[in-house]
Amino acid sequence: MNNLNHKLYWRMMVTLIVFLLSSFLSANEAILTGVVDSGWNHTCAIKTDNTIVCWGRNRFGQATPPSGTFLQVSTGNKHTCGLQTNQTVACWGYNGDGRATAPSGTFLQVSVGIEHTCGIKTDSTVTCWGKNDYDQATPPNGTFIQISTGKEHTCGIHTDNTVECWGRKGNPWSSGPNSNIGDQIIPPSNTTFSQVSAGGWHTCGIRANDNTVVCWGHNADSQASPPEGAFSQISTGIYYTCGVKTDNTVACWGWNEMGQAKPPNSTCTSRNDKYPQDVCSSPSNVNFSYVSAGKGGEKDVHTCGVRTDNTVICWGYNEYGQATPPPCLRVKSSEPQTATFLPYGILYGVHKDGTKDSQFFTIDTRTFVPNVLGPVYENYNIAALAIHPLTHQLFAVSGDQINKKGYFYQQVAHNLLEIGGTSFREVEGISIHSDGTFWGWAADAGLFKIETDENNEPYLRTLELLLPISGEVQIEDITWNQAGTLLYAVENLQHEETLPDSFDENSPKSAITGARLWAYHISDGAISTVCDKRMSSLGEEIEALETLPNDTLLFHFSGHDNLTFGVLDVQTCQIVRKEIPTNYYVEERGDPAVYKDRVRSYNNVKSFAWFSCAP
């Protein structure tokens, strides 16, 4: 280790301890559980002060929560568990089979089934406790981002967004037409998910690529036959399912004898002769952000939903008051769990079109349709983008492999205007601080800063190298947080592979094993790393990084046919993933028209720049 790397290492280690104390993992917005949860005959919710309130049956103390503050709550039949703000799990109520005896340690999420409980630990592995007669409390190896416990089975989403289930296979009702769609513990193959929910003997999930719902398992009451449309959240009961659609209405389907699948003032249609009105949708003038299907059996079953004003409304069986929330109850905001993948804005990107060519594009987050911006810039090799926070002008910098290396450009009216060059061979990322100064990373030099002139453009004569570095740290992109206190940088972790003699020498000779997220602290120049375990588990190449208005970080995973995003919450270290189909013909126009229609996969995005449309 050379002297520079040695100093960098110890500076990182000293500041890492302090940094981690302030960035403990907590329940994350991708988990899609927690503000209200409907159990068998009781319901619990997290109030705006982060304390828990419960109502309904309380024979075993399941509706008597402990004091303290919580991030998430999950209810079962006779017991309840919550994720406390210190990330430990507290459980209360009946403790048969140890279901209410939570293990020590810190967690990201907890999920309570009928008689067992599972949780995701802060190392992203799953642990379970309670009844285990069908191995529902014996989780597989691997890392997970979401967990859901059902009656006698459990399902979880791995960090690659695939679903794995375990526990009881089959159900007591295996005969009759359309009684089953596969098995509740065998999810669809070759499918990635953004959320999964395990019910009685069926399971449902939201597909990551198009937000539609797919279900598998017991279907005698059509509970595993979802309606069409896009959903932001899903919740399965024993014999029915509810979900929040992307228009903020609630749709429920399946068994509905107690009105549990019929939101107030809803419109219902029939698909099942045995149980009429099995698909019910709430009116469009009532907006929901979250819904929780109850875990009750044939008769004692209810549902609760959170409206966008954070008030709670429940419907269905109510003998014990489980469907009657406390008066004037407002719960902790559930908006992060059901918000759109990205806030309203325009995402500028640059795609590497071949070896050296660059293609700019934009994405309106209301439609997620990529639009080509200007011509293909041959031999420009644009490696970095940034939008000036004061003038909203788009700036670009070239990378290696061209005559003008490390050059700054301004994008005006679909044209690139040259500003001037740096002394660096390969600039990989730029980000503009809230004070207007330009910051960049050069692979052959390190971190640099450039002051601006009277036009808020980079005044290249003021270039200052702040953090010299060798080429051993391969930074792909950088971005400032909203406060301008932390400069994030992403690096791909690689290992050399043993390659056959016939291997193409122009192809990569290393494999991506994960990523590392660095943070430069402007106050003292200290360096730390962020979300080490989560980042190191990714196993995909990241080339673009940008900060969103809520201080989450937007990644691009390269090498996919679809435009593949990840949004990292740096406080929770969890990633929400989304794929946007882009492998279709797009019309490119120029003046003169020198471009032709072609299939564009957007699988090698080099950099992002975010323009917020929020007021």
pLDDT tens digit sequence for 496-535: 443 334 333 334 434 667 889 999 999 998 999 999 888 8
pLDDT of 496 reads 47
Is residue 347 located within the same domain as residue 230?
no
pLDDT tops 70 at residue 543:
yes
pLDDT tops 60 at residue 27:
no
Domain annotation covers residue 375: yes
Highest mean pLDDT: which range of 176-190, 244-258, 559-573, 583-597:
244-258
Q: Could you tell me the CATH number of the domain that includes residue 552?
A: 2.120.10.30
Task: Write down the mean pLDDT value for the chain.
Answer: 81
Domain boundary pick from 338, 360, 394: 338
Is residue 437 located within the same domain as residue 561?
yes
Is residue 332 located within the same domain as residue 428?
no
Sheet harboring 446-450: ordered strands across? 427-432, 438-442, 446-450, 464-468
Domain annotation covers residue 531: yes
Is residue 325 located within the same domain as residue 392?
no
pLDDT tens digit sequence for 11-26: 333 333 223 322 323 3
Domain annotation covers residue 28: no
pLDDT tens digit sequence for 233-255: 999 999 999 999 999 999 999 98
Is residue 309 located within the same domain as residue 356?
no
Is residue 275 located within the same domain as residue 400?
no
Domain boundary pick from 338, 361, 395: 338
pLDDT of 33 reads 53
pLDDT of 572 reads 82
Q: When comparing pLDDT for 139 and 358, which is higher?
A: 139
Across the range 575-591, mean pLDDT stands at 55
Enter the pTM of the model.
0.57
Can you point out the beta strands (E) in 285-426? 288-293, 302-307, 312-316, 345-352, 358-364, 369-377, 382-387, 394-398, 407-412, 415-421
pLDDT tens digit sequence for 296-336: 877 789 999 998 888 899 999 988 989 989 888 889 875 43
Across the range 365-377, mean pLDDT stands at 74
Task: Please give the distance of CA 232 from its chain centroid, rounded to a whole number.
Answer: 12
Across the range 98-109, mean pLDDT stands at 93
Is residue 305 located within the same domain as residue 360?
no
Domain annotation covers residue 441: yes
Task: Please give the distance of CA 30 from its chain centroid, rounded to a whole number.
Answer: 5
Q: Which residues span the domain enclosing 431?
A: 3-23+340-497+505-612
Q: Could you tell me the CATH number of the domain that includes residue 202?
A: 2.130.10.30
pLDDT of 444 reads 84
Is residue 291 located within the same domain as residue 382?
no
Domain annotation covers residue 191: yes
pLDDT tops 50 at residue 165:
yes
Domain annotation covers residue 30: no
Q: How confident is the model at residue 412 (pLDDT cuts 50, 70, 90)?
A: confident
- Confirm if 129 and 110 have CB atoms less than 8 A apart: no
With a pLDDT cut of 90, the percent of the chain lying above it is 43
> How many independent structural domains does the chain possess?
2
pLDDT tens digit sequence for 557-572: 887 777 788 888 888 8
- Confirm if 476 and 492 have CB atoms less than 8 A apart: yes
Question: 167: alpha, beta or left, given left = phi > 0 and alpha = psi -120 to 50?
Answer: left
Q: Is 48 exposed, middle or buried (0-12, 13-18, 19+ CB in 10 A)?
A: exposed
CA-based nearest residue to 155, from 142, 139, 132: 139
Is residue 9 located within the same domain as residue 154?
no
254, 338, 204, 601: CA torsion to nearest 10: 130
pLDDT of 614 reads 57
Domain boundary pick from 317, 338, 359: 338
CA-based nearest residue to 8, from 489, 469, 445: 469
CA-based nearest residue to 7, from 526, 536, 532: 526
Is residue 224 located within the same domain as residue 332?
yes
Is residue 260 located within the same domain as residue 406?
no
Q: How confident is the model at residue 280 (pLDDT cuts 50, 70, 90)?
A: very high
Is residue 315 located within the same domain as residue 453?
no
